[in-house]
Structure 1
Amino acid sequence: MGNDELHVLFFPFPANGHIIPCVDLARVFAMRGVKTTIVTTPLNVPLISRTVGKATIQIRTIKFPSPEETGLPQGCENSDSALSPDKIIAFLKATMLLRDPLEHLLQQEHPHCLVADMFFPWATDSAAKFGIPRIVFHGLGFFPLCVLACVRQYRPQDKVSSYTEPFVVPNLPGEITLTKMQLPQTPKHDEVFTQLLDEANDSELKSFGVIANSFYELEPVYAEHYRNHLGRRAWHLGPVSLCNRDSEEKAWRGKEAAIDEHECMKWLASKEKDSVVYVCFGSMTSFSEAQLREIALGLEASGRAFIWVVKKGSNEKLEWLPEGYEDRVEGGGKGLIIRGWAPQVMILDNEAVGGFVTHCGWNSALEGVCAGLPMVTWPMYAEQFYNAKFLNDVVRIGVGVGVQTWIGMMGGEAAVKKEVIEKAVKRIMVGEEAEEMRKRAKELSLMARKAVREGGSSYSHFNSLLQDLRSPTCM
């Protein structure tokens, strides 16, 4: 069977941070000649169509459950519009109702493989109904996958006397220490999410395997540990964001940008190499006005030019900015504030950008690695503390702002002060420590780009995956 005869169907969870890497992954398959289909709901089609770019990929839609079935407002088909605690649980329940429409589509399409997001645990059984393998795509690398598996299996957090007492993650190379405060916190009443995670783990163990958005040279010890010690079948095919090769693909990836790409590039062109710090906390995080004010003051005090992406929403009018800030910073050419979606990969890859302040979502962390940038790590929820640990302590291209508590998407902890932010930005931008981190980051960037080229580790692992999919036990 040739690549063109193999048909792989991708089913991303309807959240921007899940959809975009899944579409990038689908593009990797399409670029290698595999017939590729992405399944989504109608209101997510524009985001996917933009991100698909020039790749030949079919998009099929299934209907999202009605407001009568879900209790959600009309048009709520993406987690971006369901960020309050009550809505996100209702949203998770709603996605469980996508099972029947997906199975109907599987019956129509007859794909050879289903690549489905971890948040669709039922997808393993759905694929099995039609005699096809299901592969799980978390969008994560091997390090966070290893930590998640070891914490779940050995439960070291149950053996400490307080939330602040450090423990070593058992059966994991590198003496990785965490505290209970840094683990994902699920409210006791939140049985839906707890049950979903349990089911996701069980379905992953029954699935054909896992695709990791990583490359072998970034985390060889953890790639081996995940496969050989934890016994999980996995293929590393990343960094998937590197499928976006020209400026147009980078600019169009994701939602429509809140800034004209030419205006952004013109601003960056006026700056010296490695002089700008890029600040972005992902598409889900909301900060208090007090925290936003501290960030504004810390960036100004650092003396570095910056691009700061402020999430569109309740803080949109920027009334929280210190008096005269926009005139001093934006008017003086020192800072550029983007109110909404930013073409992140395009900005990070610009030579004027020399550092990245990030929430440590794996997508952003890996995009920072690909751009060869030292990072200020500011984790808040999900597996972000694990990713921060990886950047700071394993590959040593990050410095933390000192947050120690998993606080969720709504940013409920006491504000990180401007002095701390100023110091962290300076540490990644100027001085000997910054240059050492930048050197290590640039070396990783070169390895990442080599990995996805012909003969590279991720390119070769793609061939291994295709062989596995064509094996008699799979077909």
Structure 2
Amino acid sequence: MGSLAMEGDNHDQPLQVVMFPYLAFGHIFPFVHLSNALAANGVNVTFLTLPSLVPKIRLSLDPNIPILSYKLPPIDGLPSDVYSTNGCSEVLAELLRQAMDATRPQIAKILAKLSPQVVVFDFVQCWVPEVAELLGIKSIYFCVFNAISIASTILFGLTPHQRPSLWRLRLPPRELLSMYLRVKPYEVRGMLSNAHGSGSEASNFSRLVSSVACCDAIAVKSTYEMEAPSIKYLSSQCRKPVLPTGVLLPKAPAGDLEPKLAEWLNKFPKGTVVFCSFGSESYLSMKQMKELVAGIEMTGFPFLAVLNTTADAPKDRQELEAEIGEKAGGRGMVSSGWVNQPLIVRHPAVGCYINHGGWSSIVEAVEGGCQLVMLPVKGDQYPNTKLMVMQLRAAVKINRRAWDGWFTRTAVRKAVRTVMVEGSKKGKVVRANNSKLREILQQEGLQEDYTKGFITMLTELVASL
């Protein structure tokens, strides 16, 4: 494996990069996948995380990449056993963000000792660019979502102290105009869900805006083939490099599905099972979960629905298990907890994926051969849904009531059957575009080209020191 030599030293040495993700698994693993891609191309990578997360990260991270740990300072109200956002209420998630802010002195010391040329950080740690600049290190904000999620933020303005505005949201740039026509009130609230902080604390929105405004360059987990208008718009508006990383799909996961689940899925013909999951950090109300399951049952297709609640809602979990429960032995199964999603969406029996619109889940399912039914819950999931449904026309969404986003079981049934049953004109178009998108994601050498292009741009950025 060759190394990327840098000019300007007395001797050649590889590019040195530190990766610093937020404490959410939906953020951590894109950082892991980018780390692996860079290391495979000769970049020296160091990964920063908490000690308690090391075992899980190490399973997926290149064994040659060292992991350095830091500690969360104690924060009033934050239990000592909370070390990620998985299952966290918004109150605990806010306290976790405060704890991350308090790690700034530790991270500054680590960066000073390692002296990398580049630090790649997450938006919650919006103070990293200031720390990096003092140390002569280039800072890259890595958006683990995609370009349109930041483009949507730009519609509100790039000044951290500027208040979000519905008027600005309704007046996007020309390239994105069609995606924001007839925006509904529940979508606006969902996209603005991160716009407000707790008391004097910085909101997720202000953290994101600050990260975009203060970093040296922006990395987006996307491709020109999927998002050329948004990527070009970002570059022109932010006046700084925007570096597509590719979608960073991991290799097909090793291992097998849980025997009980594998046995259940193997009973059904190819492409007939509806899989439903909202990831580890997006939740529906109990009423919505019941309506969703009723709608999936009405489709007539076998289904696997994984529906979770926050860790601080034990009564909801008990009610979920008691009233919805597991229906194994029939054509439906409803459960909660962790499942091996990458293996599920690749299983031949699974043909449709009802999802929350998380970007990693979307590309993973398309690559795995699933039709997509979108039901966004918060934040970037709404622009992701607009991208897939309106621009790429490779998915359908569940119709919802304009004011509050309520959906009916009939709407669930209609959306699923649109992509699963032959004969629908709309379904035919969506399935064809989904197939084209899959061909792009599976194109041999595409990810490697993006990785090498990303490294070239990093090299040019460092050379501008």
TM-score (structure 1 length as normaliser)? 0.84
CA distance in 1, matches of 2:402, 2:338: 27
Q: Equivalent residue for 1:185?
A: 193
Instruction: Structure 2: give runs of 5+ residues left out of the alignment.
Output: 5-12
Aligned twin of 1:440: 433
Matched, 1:398 2:391: no
Q: Secondary structure at the match of 1:146?
A: helix
For residues 446-471 of structure 1, what are the alpha-carbon distances to aligned partners after superposition, in whole Å with 9 as ceiling and x for unaligned? Answer: 11122xx43x3x43333233233333
Distance 2:288 2:185 in 1: 24
Does structure 2 retain, via aligned residues, the 8 Å contact 1:168–1:176?
no
User: Is 1:331–2:336 an aligned residue pair?
Assistant: no
Q: Secondary structure at the match of 1:64?
A: coil
Residues 194-203 or 227-236, more deviating: 194-203
- CA gap of 1:112–1:264, structure 2 versus 1, over 3 A, is farther
1:460 aligns with 2:458: no
Q: Which moved more, 1:186-195 or 1:9-18?
A: 186-195
- Would you say the 8 A contact 2:194–2:205 is kept in 1? no
Find the counterpart in structure 1 of residue 362 from structure 2.
Answer: 365
Spell out, residue by residue over 1:400-436, the C-alpha distance to the aligned partner (whole angstroms, 9 max, x if none). 2223679xxxxxx575322221222211211233343
Q: 1:461 to 1:414 in 2, by over 3 A?
A: closer
**What is the aligned counterpart of 2:293 among 286, 296, 299?**
296
Determine the C-alpha separation between the residues in 2 that align with 1:393 and 1:362.
16
Match status 1:245 vs 2:252: yes
3-state SS of paired residue (1:277) = strand
Structure 1 residue 97: deviation in Å? 0.6
Any conservation in 1 of the 2:123–2:207 contact (CA below 8 Å)? no
Contact 1:9 1:38 in 2 (8 A): yes
| Cα distance per residue 1:313-355 (max 9 Å; x no partner) | 53444556658x74xx4212x1233421111122112232211
Could you tell me how far apart the structure 1 residues matched to 2:281 and 2:289 are?
A: 15
Task: State how far apart, in whole Å, the 1-side matches of 2:407 and 2:185 are.
Answer: 20
Q: Is the contact between residue 358 and residue 375 of structure 1 (CA under 8 Å) also seen in structure 2?
A: yes
Q: Taking structure 1 as reference, are residues 125 and 337 closer, same or farther at Cα in structure 2, changes over 3 Å only?
A: same
Question: After the TM superposition, which residues 228-243 of structure 1 pair with which residues of structure 2 at under 5 Å, given as runs?
Answer: 228=236, 230-240=238-248, 242-243=249-250
Please give the alpha-carbon distance, in whole angstroms, between the structure 1 residues aligned to 2:48 and 2:307: 30
Equivalent residues in 2 for 1:201-350 (5 A)? 201-228=209-236, 230-240=238-248, 242-248=249-255, 260-311=257-308, 313=311, 314=314, 315-317=316-318, 326=326, 329-332=327-330, 334-350=331-347
Structure 1: runs of 5+ lacking an equivalent = 161-165, 252-259, 407-412
Amino acid aligned to 2:193: Q
Cα distance, 1:191–1:473 mapped onto 2, change above 3 Å:
farther
Matched residue, 1:9: 18
Q: Is the 8 A contact 1:277 1:429 kept in 2?
A: no
Q: Is the 8 A contact 1:184 1:383 kept in 2?
A: no
Which residue matches 1:163? none
Question: Which residue identity is paired with 2:356?
Answer: H
Q: 1:338 to 1:22 in 2, by over 3 A?
A: farther
Q: Per-residue CA shift, 1:360-409, capped at 9, x if unaligned?
A: 12222222332343211111111211111111111112222223679xxx
CA distance in 1, matches of 2:157, 2:28: 26
1:186 deviation in Å?
5.3
Decide whether aligned partners of structure 1 residues 13 and 186 sit closer, same or farther in structure 2, where only a CA change above 3 A counts: closer
Q: 1:144 to 1:404 in 2, by over 3 A?
A: farther
Q: 1:185 to 1:200 in 2, by over 3 A?
A: closer
The amino acid that maps onto 1:136 is Y
Q: How far does residue 139 in structure 1 lie from its aligned partner after superposition?
A: 0.4
On the 8 A contact 1:302/1:425 being kept in 2, the answer is yes
Match of 1:416 in 2: 407
Residues 186 and 193, structure 1, Cα contact 8 Å, conserved in 2: no
Q: CA deviation at 1:288?
A: 2.8
Aligned residue number for residue 141 of structure 2: 136
Partner of 1:173: 176
| Distance of aligned partners of 1:51 and 1:157 in 2 relative to their CA distance in 1, 3 Å threshold | same
Write the letter of the residue equivalent to 1:461: Y
Displacement after TM superposition at 1:100 (Å): 0.9
Decide whether the 8 Å contact of 2:175 with 2:229 is kept in 1. Answer: no
Contact preservation (8 Å) 1:114, 1:132: yes
Per the alignment, do residues 404 and 128 of structure 1 end up closer, same or farther by CA in structure 2, a change over 3 Å counting? farther
Listed one character per residue, the Cα deviations across residues 237-268 of structure 1 (whole Å, up to 9, x for unaligned) are 1211x2323534xx7xxxxxxxx534433433
Higher mean alpha-carbon deviation, 195-204 vs 281-290, is at: 195-204
Q: Partners in 1 of 2:441 and 2:194 — Cα distance?
A: 34
Is the counterpart of residue 150 in structure 1 residue 155 in structure 2? yes
Rounded Cα–Cα distance in structure 1 between residues aligned with 2:238 and 2:451: 21
Distance 1:379 1:403, change over 3 A: farther
Separation (CA, whole Å) in 1 of partners of 2:393 and 2:200: 37
Counterpart of 1:27 in structure 2 is 36
Give CA-to-partner distance per residue, 1:292-330, whole Å, 9 cap, x none: 22222211111111121122653444556658x74xx42
- 1: distance between equivalents of 2:185 and 2:239? 26
- Find the counterpart in structure 2 of residue 120 from structure 1: 125
Query: Residues 269 and 204 from structure 1, CA distance in 2 versus in 1: closer, same or farther, beyond 3 angstroms?
Result: same
Q: Partner residue of 2:377?
A: 380
Aligned to 2:112: 107
Q: Counterpart of 1:39 in 2: which secondary structure?
A: strand
Instruction: Give the drift of 1:189.
Output: 6.8
Write the distance in 2 (CA, Å) between the matches of 1:80 and 1:405: 30
Secondary structure in 1 aligned to 2:68?
strand
For residue 174 of structure 1, report the CA deviation from its aligned partner: 4.3
Superposed displacement of residue 156, structure 1? 8.8
* Partner SS, residue 213 of structure 2: helix
* TM superposition score normalised by structure 2: 0.86
Q: Quote the sequence identity (%).
A: 23
Tell me the amino acid that sits aligned with residue 449 of structure 1.
Q
2:99 pairs with 1:94: yes
Q: What is the rounded CA distance, in whole Å, between the counterparts of 1:440 and 1:195 in structure 2?
A: 37
Q: Does 1:75 align with 2:81?
A: yes
CA distance in 1 between partners of 2:196 and 2:113 (Å): 41
